[in-house]
Structure 1
Amino acid sequence: MEILGRERRRRWSNAEKLDIVAAVGVNGETLARVARRYDVSRSQIYQWRHLFRKRGLLPAGDGPTFLPVDIGVPMLSAEPVLDDRGVVSPLIVELCLAQGRRLRFDAGIEAAALTRLIRSVEAA
């Protein structure tokens, strides 16, 4: 990194940018923590990631995503519950994500839709 002029504008080499972008997700590192460590804004890392993916230097990330799962208190019943009208209410699943975020969804959601949903919440 090089600091130029009075405005202290930093210049990052492509190798340094790739290292910073690649550090996100390694050993559970969040984008916010990586941004703080390198004193870069989160939006700058998003821009670099987008640029490198567009150039084909980063994979698109279409493969499977593995997330840590913490199994809390077991549910008393896994059966759908009938409400007063005799209608089956859907089974709701709650997923605890990074930084304390919680995602609630119907147990019948398609895997592809759930993957897109998790990725968009994690990227926010």
Structure 2
Amino acid sequence: MEILGRERRRCWTEAERLEIVAAVGVNGETLSRVARRYDVSRAQIYNWRHAFKKRGQLPASSSAIFLPVDIVPSPPQAAAAFEEPILSPSVVELCFSQGRRLRFDSGIESATLMRLIRSVEGA
């Protein structure tokens, strides 16, 4: 076997790395598509993202948004006879776009709640 030439190793600047990492998720871009577009391995993007997070240089996610929350008292049981029964005295209801609603107990674990929210938003 004969080796011709030297191995080509690219040297990415910090600005280029940050641009590549930040491109993931913009307009629905997946990590795999960004990696193919820049001809970089997915593992390399994960490593860069981890390093940026560790140094506090990763920009805030554009997908995270704050929504207004209204806290209203529960209706009297007689007036709510036709509605769904309240499962717990501390039920929280999130209203999403397109009329979707998610009701859950305030004692729910955060990881479970995040999975539920992603499921409702993705439906």
TM-score by length of 2: 0.50
Compare CA radii of gyration and give the structure with the larger one.
Answer: 2
TM-score by length of 1: 0.49
Instruction: Tell me which of the two structures has the higher relative contact order, counting C-alpha pairs closer than 8 angstroms and 6 or more residues apart.
Output: 2
| Structure (1/2) with the larger strand percentage | 1
